[in-house]
Structure formats: C-alpha cells, structure tokens
Homo-oligomer: A and B are copies of this chain.
C-alpha cells in the first residue's frame, strides 16, 4: 500500500519541487486538479500586471510600444516555451486564442495541397477543433471536406490521395488518450498528408517533441497547463520548411515585414511571425510572462518525469483505495498513451465532483459518469495527489456525496 511518507519521499527527490512555491497560495486549503482547465497563478503575476497598469497604461500610454517589449512579447513568450515543445525558439509565437490559431493554420495547411481537399479528424475531437474545420469547409463552399473517424484505429483506412491534412488533438480532452505523435505523423506523411496537432491537453504537462515527432503544424492553449492566466493567448508552431510557403490567411500589420512603416501593401514577416495580425493583448501577455519565467527553469525531461510520477501515483492510489468504492480508471493504463489529466468513472460522478469541491478538491465532471483530475507537474506535489485521493475516499466512504446539496451538476 502506498503511504503518505512514500509521497513525501517522492517530493523530496522531485527536481521540480521548488516550482510549487513560485505559485500563489490560494485563500483556502484546496487542491486544484483543474490544470487542464485553468492553471495555477504564478505568485508574481499580480505585481507584474500592476506594474504594467501604472507604468505602462497610466504613464507611458502610446510610448509603451517603445519603452517596453509589448511588440516583442509574442515571440519572446514563444521562445520561452519552445524547449518544452521540442521546437526551435524562433518557430513558436503566442497570438490570439486557440480557436483563431486553429483557423489560421488549418486554412494555411489546406491551401498548401489544394489537390487534396480532405481534412481527416476525429468526430469527438475537442468541439472547437471540429467546429473550426466545419466552419472553414463551410466558408469554402465544397472545396474542402471533413472525414471523421470514430476511433484512432480507423485512421489508416481514412488516409488516401485526397487527404491534405490530418488534424488531431494530441491528447483527448475526455479520456486523456494520447496519440503516438511520431508514428502517427510518419503514417500521415507516408500518405502525402500534413500532420496538424492541437496540444492544449499536452503542452506543459507531458514531454513533447514537435520537430522530432514530425509535426507540420501545432497549436495549444496558454491558460491550461502553461498557467498563463484565464483566457491567455494561445501558441502556434509551424515546421520551418512550411513557414514561408505562403502568406498568412489573416494578414495584419503585426505580421508585416515593417510594422511601423505603414506601407500601403502587405509583405509578410519572415518565418512564423507572419501569423501575428493585430495588436496583441498587452495585459494578457504581461500576466503570462510570469509563467514564462517558470517555463525557462524547466528541463523537458524533468517535466515529463514529474508528470509521469504524479500520474502513475494517482492510478495506483485510485486502484488501491477507490476501486472498492466504485471507481474505475478509464484513461489508458499504459502511461505512454496518457496525456495531462487522468479520467476515472463513478456512477455518481456529478455529485462526487460537487462533494469533492466542498471538501477542498477542484476537479471536473464530464457526462455521464467521468471525473477528470488534471495533473500539473509545475504546481502540484505528490502529497497533493495523496491528499486529493484521501478526500475522495472520505467523500465516497462517508456517503456524503449522496446528500441532496450535491445533486446539482456542475459544468
């Protein structure tokens, strides 16, 4: 049986343990297992934002563009993240939100091979991913089609000479199933298509290697495991060889070769930065800079090892202590097939999630019977996982979850 002291020993050996103190202490004793939804706040984020408000907005005003790094932040943040994506520093930028970045890069990717008008994706991909592809196909009025697969096993038979882009979430937001990126990209390439990956439920949680694993295009969320703040800008990556094949689809002044020249015609910036368009959110980028300074402290292999350790610990604890209470781990049991969160089922999952909230554990419920624990390797300790499971055991053993006050089902 796993003990608390075993968890304490794991924490003592954790090379990322020092990061936990860099996050703000919440006002109540709570374990936050929602890093897959809204990640933790770095302790110095409020002060950084306040400084921007007073020195930047109040005092500098338009001079902020010259005095501070407002213009450069989109690529400075990208550089800070790049090693955790397995990408070169110059190949990643932050801009817009994930949906807009999906649109920008999917439209760009589809145009590279117009004789291949099919996008292959999963029917149960994250909804916005599917909607963006549907919307693009709708806009182009029949020039593009979606081919939906219901299960990863169906991918090989969905490929063919008409497929231009395979558009997948690296990690399933429900089950946490993780596609093997290297093998999948290779299969996609064998069939002449491009591999497009959404890493929203992977980046900042697990070890990823975009360049080595053959990603042609990738995007990801800034506010989940990356801890950039609610609604933070999202990142995008384009494989070097594709970066200058065409104009960006949304061709704005921040992606112009010489933004303050006010030239009358568009000329794209070199490289991936051409996918910048209008003014970035200066406030949001400033908040995210606090997280970026933490990303820089992390070796990718340490991030991966820490997450694996948390995730394996959680599986063991759930199996040892909660199986008899009706809990079943529904995420893949092979770690290499799992992403940032862990999903398990319980017949009263909605009420259990509510009761857990009341007992100091923030997790999330998915209909009909799933609970997800998001595991942030930056902000969580092994003892946090132990405590969360301990509270889960209490909630289920005591039967408190069956009280009417927990019948309301949360989002």
Contact = CB atoms under 8 A, between A and B. Distances in A.
A367 to B, nearest CB: 8
A251 B132 contact: yes
Contacts of A138: 247, 251
Contact of A132 (B32, B56, B252): B252
A278 B98 contact: yes
A34 interface: yes
Interface residues of A, number: 87
A277 to B, nearest CB: 4
Interface in A13-57: 24, 26-28, 30, 32, 34, 37-41, 45-46, 49-50, 52-54, 56-57
Contacts of A99: 250, 252-254, 277-279
Contact of A59 (B27, B287, B364): B27
Copy count, this protein chain:
2
Contacts of A56: 230
A132 to B, nearest CB: 6
A263 B123 CA distance: 10
Contact of A62 (B38, B52, B124, B260): B38
A282 B228 CA distance: 11
A54 B40 CA distance: 11
B53 A41 contact: yes
B266 A130 contact: yes
Nearest to A28: B59
Query: Of residues A37, A38, A124, A138, which shows the largest number of chain B Cβ atoms within 10 Å of its Cβ?
Result: A38
Interface stretch (A78-86, A231-239, A393-401): A231-239
Interface stretch (A2-10, A64-72, A175-183): A64-72
Contacts of A284: 231, 281, 283-284
Interface of A: 24, 26-28, 30, 32, 34, 37-41, 45-46, 49-50, 52-54, 56-59, 61-66, 70, 96-100, 103, 107, 111, 123-124, 127-128, 130-132, 134-136, 138-139, 223, 229-234, 247-254, 256, 260, 262-266, 277-285, 287, 357, 362, 364, 410-411
Given A130-B266, A232-B281, 17 more contacts: A30-B59, A46-B54, A50-B50, A53-B287, A57-B229, A57-B230, A96-B278, A97-B278, A100-B277, A103-B277, A124-B264, A128-B252, A131-B266, A230-B282, A231-B280, A283-B283, A283-B287
